[in-house]
Amino acid sequence: MQREVIGIDFGTTNSGAAFIEFDEPAVIENSEGERVTPSVVYFKEDGKVVVGSVAKRNIIANPERTVKSIKRFMGTEHQVQIGNESYPPEYIGAHIIKKLVQDAEKRVGTSFTDAIITVPAYFMDPQRQAVKDAGEIAGLNVLGILNEPTAAALAFGFEEEEERRILVYDFGGGTFDVSVLTIGGGFFDVDATSGDNHLGGDDIDARIEDFMLNKIKEKHKIDLEKKREENRALLQSLREEAERVKIELSSKERATVNLPFVGKGKRGAPVAFSYDLSRREFAELIADFVERTRKPMEQALDDAALQPGDIDDVILVGGTTYIPAVKEFVRDFFGKEPEHKVNPIEVVALGAAVATLKEGVKEKETPGKIRRPVEISDVISRSLGVLTYEGTVPKIITRNTKIPITQTKLYTNAVDYADEGVVAVYQGESVYPEEEGFLGEFLFEIEPKPAGESRIDITFGVGEEFGILHVTAHDHDSGNERRVKMEAVGRLTKQKKNKWMKKMLRMHAIKVRVVNVETEDILSYYLNPNARIEDLRKDLMRKGILSEGMGIFYKDNELDDERQVKDAGIKDGSELELRQRE
Ligand SMILES: Nc1ncnc2c1ncn2[C@@H]1O[C@H](COP(=O)(O)OP(=O)(O)OP(=O)(O)O)[C@@H](O)[C@H]1O
Ligand SMILES: [Mg+2]
């Protein structure tokens, strides 16, 4: 059976899906016939869940049961409260992903078991893991997490023969990313990346909303914010109006905010509000947001040791780049017209589809297919380090280092005869932990020694597929070693993930014990029923519990790589043995 891989752009406002059809990346329309699906989830009273335009139209009528912009909360401890239930962001995200996949399956007529999902290049480790978890809760076998600007470059340049230097300026609904790449001949080399995880069209809408709230106050002496709860529906319509007017101003010189009712005036007569916003006034209103994209651009160019003039093509990605003031800013910065051959809203999904042509992701090309495989070399977007006894965070891996990467640094014990070491991991550019993102920490045993005499190796490894960090601590004296995947703060445990998956798919991960008969290593492990034995093999090799030449055995039969877990008869509580093949 052909293994079908779908490319998914999981966006703050809009999400999309694409796949390789007859050698070309193609957007897959949803059941409503749309090329993008609003990332809005509506939990109906009757327990049904609706995603997309229908949910979006429902925001005003039912704001307390409708969730938007969930991507902003991925990788945080935020919980979404709907009625008496509270849901983690991963579960909300999974609903969006599931809708994309189910609609795609209906349209294309195959089943998509595997996916490549994109995330902003500037996403931190926990955010990446949360998106991967969302894909898994939706029942997918997530083969890779790809940076959005890299995806855009793939869609832009997969037919490009000559070497070109490109800059991707991705200004979307919730995030701003910039990447500098060298591409050509099927190679996609990321030179540097930078960005801002909290800057997007959502912020612009909020700014217009604030501006209008002030105008309403000035003009009608009505303060809608005073009773936020009571005015919830009204504020929601104002937000919708703000976005509508913003979009209109991309093609018109003026646009009018209209609210037929903002409150009651003297003698209880209803008061209406309208405001005519000009493109100029709007540009001034958001000038600081646009300006905020300058520094990341300069930083990415600087890290790549390039000048604006060295860039051959500037690629605009994301709906916010439709705004004339944004285009103008980019044009001024580079002194030339940005590229127009890609659609800023669809390009990321298309690129995720192109990434499925990466060697080892998709099966050998079917006969008649001429597309060459693509090679992607990405970088890590933030520096990574561990907290020292002095209270600073020296870096083990610095930003814009190519992945995959493994880097080791030698540390020592700060306290006399401590029998434990703490490894606390931080991500970011500052040396002070309070200005950094905390990824997690773990303890491990060391041989007690006078201060400064222990030798402890800390190794950071970032794999290619996900950009997710693995940390190993090794004490030279005792030989103790601990290898952990940085399970970020607030991250769903495997049990929780399983619970949500069960709720969503009425299917749950299969809990097994994996035993290496030679080393006697035992691992308790959750299997995704849709995964293949091959995926399990790869993961166990990554975890270092399985080595080349060994087979995975169940009830004394070796499991075939091609087999899907759910067809292999493995049950909850089963034991899988890892041993040398005869
Ligand atoms: N013509 C337009 N003019 C101005 N803004 C627009 C236009 N069309 C869409 N937008 C805005 O673009 C944003 C959505 O863009 P896009 O779909 O690229 O974002 P996303 O992929 O959901 O977000 P992100 O990539 O940040 O997660 C929204 O804020 C939307 O209001
Ligand atoms: Mg996007």
Q: What is the pLDDT of residues 169-193, one digit of tens each?
A: 999 999 999 999 999 999 999 999 9
Q: Do domains 201-287 and 384-485 have the same CATH topology?
A: no
> Is the shortest distance between the CB of 52 and ligand 1 below 6 Å?
no
- The number of C-alpha atoms within 13 Å of 420 and in the hemisphere containing its C-beta is 6
Nearest Cα residue to 82 out of 36, 136, 125, 41: 41
Question: For residue 299, what are the CA distances in angstroms to 40, 59, 177, 303, 400?
Answer: 33, 38, 12, 6, 11
**Distance of CA 10 from the midpoint of ligand 2 (Å):** 7
Tens of pLDDT, residues 28-57 = 999 999 999 999 999 998 889 999 999 998
Provide, rounded to the nearest whole percent, the portion of the chain with pLDDT above 90. 66
pLDDT score at 364: 46
pLDDT confidence of residue 368: 42
Predicted local distance difference test score (pLDDT) of residue 521: 82
Tell me the ligand closest to 319's alpha carbon: 1
Compute, in angstroms, the gap from residue 171 CA to the centroid of ligand 2. Answer: 8
Q: Is the pLDDT of residue 574 over 60?
A: yes
Q: Once rounded to an integer, what is the mean pLDDT over residues 480-501? A: 77
The full length of the chain comes to 582
CA–CA gap between residue 134 and residue 94 (Å, rounded): 4
Cα–Cα nearest to 115, from 93, 146, 89, 153: 146
Predicted local distance difference test score (pLDDT) of residue 582? 77
User: What is the average pLDDT across 425-430?
Assistant: 93
Give the pLDDT of residue 395: 95
- CA of 72 relative to ligand 2 center, distance in Å: 12
pLDDT top residue among 329 and 522:
329
Q: Is 435 a catalytic residue?
A: no
Q: Which fold has domain 384-485?
A: Substrate Binding Domain Of DNAk; Chain A, domain 1 (2.60.34)
List, in sequence order, every beta strand (DSSP E) within 378-534.
Answer: 384-386, 395-397, 405-411, 420-427, 437-445, 456-462, 469-475, 481-485, 510-516, 522-527
Least confident of 435-444, 476-485, 539-548: 476-485
Q: Return d(Cα 161, Cα 184) in angstroms, integer.
A: 5
Is 561 labeled as catalytic in the residue annotation? no
Ligand 1: residue whose CA is nearest its atom 12: 319
Q: 218-232: per-residue pLDDT in tens?
A: 999 999 988 888 888
Percent of the chain with pLDDT over 70: 96
pLDDT, greater one: 19 or 567: 19
Q: Token pair for residue 309?
A: 């003039």
Question: What dihedral angle (degrees, nearest 10) is formed by the CA atoms of 106, 138, 135, 169?
Answer: 50
Q: Return the amino acid letter for 187.
A: F
Asked whether residue 572 carries a pLDDT value surpassing 80, the answer given is yes
Classify 113 as helix, strand or coil.
Answer: coil
Say how far apart CA 343 and CA 568 lie, in whole Å: 43
What is the pLDDT, as a whole number, of residue 1?
45
Mean pLDDT of the chain: 91
Domain residue spans of the chain: 5-199+292-377, 201-287, 384-485, 509-580
What average pLDDT does this structure show over 16-35?
Answer: 94
Annotated active-site residue 210? The verdict is no
| SS3 of 539-578 | HHHHCCCCCCCEEEEECCEECCCCCEHHHCCCCCCCEEEE
Query: What are the tokens at 150?
Result: 């890299």
114 is an active site residue: no
**Amino acid residing at 418:** A
pLDDT at 75: 92
Ligand at minimal distance from the CA of 208 is 1
Ligand 1, atom nearest to 71 Cα = 27
Question: How much is the pLDDT for 367?
Answer: 43
- Residue to mutate (ligand 1; options 127, 245, 320; most atoms within 8 A of CB): 320
- For residue 243, how far is its CA from the centre of ligand 1 (angstroms)? 10
User: How many C-beta atoms lie closer than 10 Å to residue 250's C-beta?
Assistant: 18
Helix (H, G, I), strand (E, B) or coil at 74: coil
- d(CA 178, ligand 2 centre) in Å: 12
Q: What is the pLDDT of residue 358?
A: 82
Q: How far is the CA of 511 from the centre of ligand 1 (A)?
A: 40
Q: Is the CB of 345 under 6 A from ligand 1?
A: yes
| 201-287 is a CATH 3.90.640.10 domain | yes
Q: Given the residues 56, 68, 71, 132, select the one marked as catalytic.
A: 71
What average pLDDT does this structure show over 143-162? Answer: 94
User: Closest ligand to 246 CA?
Assistant: 1
Cβ of 577 closer than 6 Å to ligand 1, yes or no, is no
Q: What's the CA-to-centroid distance between 134 and ligand 2, angstroms?
A: 17
CATH of domain 509-580: 3.10.20.90
Q: Is the pLDDT of residue 2 over 60?
A: no
| Spatial CB neighbours of 160, under 8 Å, sequence gap ≥ 6 | 183, 184, 185
* Lowest mean pLDDT segment, chosen from 86-90, 367-371, 400-404: 367-371
Report the C-alpha gap between 230 and 324 in whole angstroms: 36
Give yes or no for residue 62 having a pLDDT over 70. yes
Question: 504 in the Ramachandran plot: left (φ > 0), alpha (ψ -120 to 50) or beta?
Answer: alpha
Catalytic residue among 103, 148, 191, 241: 148
Q: Is the peptide bond before 433 cis (omega within 30 degrees of 0)?
A: no
Question: Which of 35-44, 415-424, 460-469, 522-531 has maximum average pLDDT?
Answer: 35-44
pLDDT at 442: 83
Q: Is the minimum distance from the CB of 10 to ligand 1 under 6 angstroms? A: no
Going by alpha carbons, the residue nearest to atom 2 of ligand 1 is 247
Nearest to 499 by CA among 204, 87, 224, 110: 87
Which ligand 1 atom sits nearest the alpha carbon of residue 251?
A: 1
- Ligand 1 contacts CB of residue 530 (under 6 A): no
Choice from 9, 10, 12, 197 to test ligand 1 binding pocket (greatest atom count within 8 A of CB): 12
pLDDT for 288 equals 98
Gap from CA of 423 to ligand 2 centroid (Å): 35
Q: Residue 490 above 80 pLDDT?
A: no
Burial of 581 (0-12, 13-18, 19+ CB in 10 A): exposed
Q: Does domain 5-199+292-377 match CATH 1.10.150.120?
A: no
Strand partners, 484: 471
- Per the DSSP assignment, residues forming a β-bridge with 182 are 165, 189
Cβ–ligand 1 distance for 175 under 6 Å, the answer: yes
Residue with token string 């979006």: 56
Q: Which of 136, 170, 436, 465 is catalytic?
A: 170
- Tell me what pLDDT residue 558 has: 93
The pLDDT of residue 444: 83
Task: Please write the tens of the pLDDT for every residue from 479-489.
Answer: 887 776 665 55
pLDDT of residue 255: 98
User: pLDDT digit string (tens) for 260-319?
Assistant: 999 988 888 899 999 999 999 999 999 999 999 999 999 999 999 999 999 999 999 999
| Ligand 1 atom closest to the CA of 348, numbered from 1 | 21
